[in-house]
């Protein structure tokens, strides 16, 4: 990004800052706002300031005052992610990487550093790597997956249901995605507290993040070697055996990509949906009254509180224009998911219900659109629904203003969600749990929706419902809902 586009006065001299006492003091070179530090503690408010000052695309500063554009407009974000001829995800193109200002010692280096994975690749290499990932994902049987999610939910709820209190972040939303993802990858024995904590830690950028990342990568590398020697019907084995012929390192790196992206996004999504149910009486009334389903509630949350608020980054491959701004070759751009979702041009009334509208930016778009979004939706849909069925009287056990968040440029993570409810007896768990996901035997990407996917060859006995209804009372719609939820 070039200085001339930063300075409203039209000068390139960064020493010509505002005079002493000016309200602009505390801003960065050229009077640019920083996406870190005191002003960035409320990023939502900061994005709206930037929108008012600059429009749909705004110049800002990252850590160490590295310049970058943040894309605030919904349409501008979609244009950027959908035009690989103009914008790439290869950070090696970024001028700040080339001149060392965003080098290996930069605080955001783990987000910036290029890796040989599909989300950073372009052209034929992107097609090869992403084809292997989507091919392996196409083998997932979503009906079996929902059943496993439901069983995992029951198992987690059983651990606290007799107490009458719980933290639905630390005891539920941070654990359910990891349990399900470890099963999908074919490594259920590696799901434990340490795996959960290490994954959370490496995403926070703490002093122990490097050690946590090494632990996770060691687990994934050992699992790759096991499956290379002894393949089974799981995602990892299908990734290894895909015609793209990924190396062991490529397999392990893509397992890390799937695990981290799906885990963080889904953990945040579950916590956000539960928070809305517990704090917004209208939201809960719509669910209880049947005017809104849990999947619709999940989509509303993806609009209002996307699991990732911004993604670093996209990089200009040539001189171009975006949102009335001159973007030069080598400029970096932030994919602004949260500000794009509240663009007043597409959402003039933020209180309006977004039911049936999936045009949010939560899962990206274009060639790098999240390939695992249906997995995240399934975990959130089934997990939240099953928990609310088990604990229909659950209530927030603190004032809403006491809830605390851990925020960064990329996400806003709820720290705790304390709840209370009438103590419940544990539900019996099924004696046998088949491996999930059950795989399809070929590489063809199905066009079936998850709801109509073929059932497993050996169906599992249904889970007892929390409140059995008298025989003969279930209509066709109720039977469909029970099938959908995996009972």
Cα separation of 119 and 129, whole Å? 9
Q: What is the DSSP letter of 422?
A: -
The pair of three-digit structure tokens given for residue 75, joined into one six-digit string: 């349409």
Sorting pLDDT into bands at 50, 70 and 90, what band is 18?
Answer: very low
Round to the nearest angstrom and report the end-to-end CA distance of the chain: 54
Averaged pLDDT for residues 406-412: 84
Q: Which of 60, 53, 123 is nearest to 334 (CA)?
A: 60
Sorting pLDDT into bands at 50, 70 and 90, what band is 10?
Answer: very low
pLDDT tens string 52-98? 999 999 999 999 999 999 999 999 999 999 999 999 999 999 999 99
Query: What pLDDT sits at residue 117?
Result: 92
pLDDT tens string 219-270? 999 999 999 999 999 999 999 999 999 999 999 999 999 998 899 899 999 9
pLDDT tens string 85-118? 999 999 999 999 999 999 888 888 877 889 889 9
Query: What pLDDT sits at residue 485?
Result: 52
pLDDT tens string 416-446? 999 999 999 998 766 444 344 444 333 333 3
Q: Give the largest CA-CA distance in the chain.
A: 80
Asked if 426 contacts 152 with a C-beta cutoff of 8 angstroms, the reply is no
Averaged pLDDT for residues 126-136: 96
Sorting pLDDT into bands at 50, 70 and 90, what band is 356?
Answer: confident
Q: Which of 10-14, 236-240, 307-311 has the lowest mean pLDDT?
A: 10-14
Please name the residue that has the structure tokens 């006995």.
461
pLDDT tens string 334-352? 999 999 999 999 999 998 8
If one counts every other C-beta atom within 10 angstroms of the C-beta of residue 453, the result is 18
Above 80 in pLDDT, residue 156?
yes
Sorting pLDDT into bands at 50, 70 and 90, what band is 460?
Answer: very low
SS (H, E, C) 147-191: HHHHHHHHHHHHCCCCCCEEECHHHHHCCHHHHHHHHHCCCHHHC
Query: What pLDDT sits at residue 206?
Result: 66
Cα separation of 191 and 48, whole Å? 40
Cα separation of 405 and 342, whole Å? 20
Query: What pLDDT sits at residue 461?
Result: 43
């Amino acid at each position: 990004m070039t200085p001339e586009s930063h300075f409203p006065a039209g000068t390139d001299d960064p020493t010509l800052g505002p005079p002493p006492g000016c309200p602009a003091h505390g801003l960065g070179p050229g009077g640019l706002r920083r996406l870190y530090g005191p002003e960035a503690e409320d990023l939502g408010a900061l994005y709206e300031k930037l929108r008012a000052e600059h429009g749909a695309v705004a110049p800002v500063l990252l850590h160490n005052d590295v310049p970058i554009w943040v894309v605030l407009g919904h349409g501008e974000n979609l244009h950027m992610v959908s035009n690989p001829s103009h914008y790439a995800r290869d950070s090696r193109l970024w001028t700040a990487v080339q001149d060392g200002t965003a080098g290996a010692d930069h605080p955001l280096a783990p987000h910036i550093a290029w890796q040989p994975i599909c989300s950073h690749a372009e052209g034929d290499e992107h097609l090869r790597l992403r084809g292997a990932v989507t091919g392996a994902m196409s083998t997932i049987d979503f009906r079996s997956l929902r059943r496993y999610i439901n069983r995992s939910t029951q198992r987690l709820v059983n651990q606290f249901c007799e107490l009458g209190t719980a933290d639905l972040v630390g005891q539920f939303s941070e654990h359910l995605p990891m349990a399900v993802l470890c099963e999908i990858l074919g490594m259920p024995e590696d799901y434990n507290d340490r795996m959960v904590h290490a994954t959370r830690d490496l995403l926070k950028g703490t002093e122990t993040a490097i050690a946590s990342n090494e632990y996770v990568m060691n687990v994934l590398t050992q699992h790759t070697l096991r499956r290379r020697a002894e393949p089974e019907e799981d995602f990892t084995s299908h990734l290894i055996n895909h015609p793209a012929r990924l190396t062991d390192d490529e397999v392990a790196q893509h397992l890390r990509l799937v695990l981290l992206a799906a885990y963080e996004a889904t953990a945040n999504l579950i916590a956000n949906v539960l928070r809305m149910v517990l704090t917004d009486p209208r939201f809960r009334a719509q669910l209880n009254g049947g005017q809104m389903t849990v999947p619709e509630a999940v989509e509303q949350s993806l609009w209002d509180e996307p699991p990732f608020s911004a993604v670093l980054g996209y990089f200009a491959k040539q001189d171009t224009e975006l949102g009335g701004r001159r973007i030069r070759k080598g400029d970096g751009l932030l994919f602004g998911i949260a500000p794009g979702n509240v663009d007043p041009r597409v959402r003039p009334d933020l209180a309006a219900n977004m039911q049936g509208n999936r045009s949010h930016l939560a899962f990206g778009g274009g060639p790098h659109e999240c390939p695992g979004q249906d997995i995240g939706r399934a975990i959130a849909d089934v997990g939240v629904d099953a928990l609310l069925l088990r604990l229909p009287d659950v209530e927030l056990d603190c004032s809403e203003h006491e809830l605390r968040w851990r925020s960064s440029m990329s996400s806003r993570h709820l720290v705790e969600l304390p709840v209370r409810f009438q103590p419940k007896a544990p539900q019996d768990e099924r004696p046998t749990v088949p491996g999930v996901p059950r795989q399809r035997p070929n590489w063809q990407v199905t066009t079936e929706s998850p709801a109509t996917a073929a059932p497993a060859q050996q169906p599992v006995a249904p889970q007892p419902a929390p409140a059995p209804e008298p025989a003969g009372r279930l209509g066709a719609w109720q039977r469909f809902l029970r099938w959908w939820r995996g009972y």
